[in-house]
Structure 1
């Protein structure tokens, strides 16, 4: 599939999705959100892809925010629809993907860019990264899940401060806040993410998908995460991956998971 705003490729089990609008600092517009949805959907269905690395082209920005020119004159109803469609098509879609998504954050990750990074299953940042949710400086609030995912990651107080001051934090502060898992040099960012991806790929993809569902369930209203964990744990016993994993362990050999 050909894209205008992103790059998508697969190599050795890793899917690489790169937002590629460097002249716009990789800002998210509707067309880019649609293409990202299509790329993630394709990666989900591609049996060769086990882990996805999401990043932005160039060194200046992961995603510097949403393309404000697209919605500057929207009405209330149009604004509500914009947020609802974006969350369903991309941000919630990524968060609930059954394959691990690693956000490799280079440069600015602001507004919708930080919200996209937070939708990934975890984040690695280059030491030149800057992150923030500046929406209130435009008279609006984060609309792609920022008011929900940021408190989950950094705590309510820090999230309130970041949102209300519209301030940016650097990579080291993001690490201190638990907003990112690791910080590395810009030239090592992708290789670091690839190393993490290869560690993940040694394990059962079926079990990883189940773990994603169980962890995410804790953040769903009206859902008992412990019950989901019990269900997913029990379901694991009926998989070929479980049979292979336990057999390999008892035989003291490396497991070769069939992914079933």
Structure 2
């Protein structure tokens, strides 16, 4: 199994401490784990891949009935629940996954995303910080941590992580939009303008970026330029769904 599996298994009959992969005790012969655990995990993955979410959940539940602290099983079930919108249940299984495997970075990341969508920014930030503690090169966590900090009003630290995200993961163009908002709030309008212009490569934030650029132009006395940007925003809005619909 991967490094997300549990640690050494102690036999409940004789107390012998066996290796992680042991299915039976080398001293007394007692079965330590359900021989079908690995097969259930693989079958759940197949069901999920082929769109049979109910069957995937059933297999994972059978797995967890046998091994409640199975890190991969809890993480996979958490993912299924998350995509069904059952955030509280997903969070519970993600928490079980990281409790079973303290360095399971992907489970911490998904836990942070679930907390974020639940509106729990402090716990989301804590989960993303843990990702970076485990793996400082887990670059996606910088953007997510920055968002959680941004929504808590911790703009200086949010800016630091948005900048790291923009540098380390250039495909996260949306980081430039948030940097623009932060610089605009701090009165650094020229820097904000550059960031909003860079964010125009990202269709999700294009309407908002054009609007902020129009405000900057108007504040600089360029009313004609502001009106042109607002016209572009209006045309864009007719062609694309709103920002909330696009996310």
Judging by fraction of residues, say which structure has more helix: 2
Judging by fraction of residues, say which structure has more strand: 1
TM-score normalised by L of structure 1: 0.25
The structure showing larger relative contact order (alpha-carbon pairs under 8 Å, at least 6 residues apart) is 1
Structure having the higher Rg: 2
TM-score normalised by L of structure 2: 0.26
